[in-house]
Amino acid sequence: MENLGTKTIKIGARITPGLWEEMGKLAYEVGMTKTSLASICLAVGYKAFLRMLKPEEAISPKKWVEIMEEVRKQDLNLEGTKNVEK
């Protein structure tokens, strides 16, 4: 996830009072504001939704290259185990 810094856009959203209360409890447990937790949930949920609907867009071609280079460096196969046949 990209670092937001000062580049943010304020949006409005509606959730149930029960969910807001649950988020408040979790936010308190992890030491953040409910608004910060809601922002994280929005970003994470969006990414999960994107992976479900358009998996080909969820990871950029540049990121795929990085992943495959790391797989090759570690001599792994696509299942994540070491290659035994050479």
Residues in CB range of 38: below 8 A, 6 or more apart: 13, 23
Q: Is the pLDDT of residue 35 over 60?
A: yes
Helix 34-53 vs helix 17-30: crossing angle, to nearest 10: 110
The domain spans of the chain are 1-53, 56-86
* pTM of the model as a whole: 0.60
Question: In this predicted structure, what is the pLDDT of residue 2?
Answer: 56
Express each pLDDT in 36-69 by its tens digit.
999 999 999 999 999 899 988 888 889 989 988 8
Does position 80 have pLDDT exceeding 70, yes or no? no
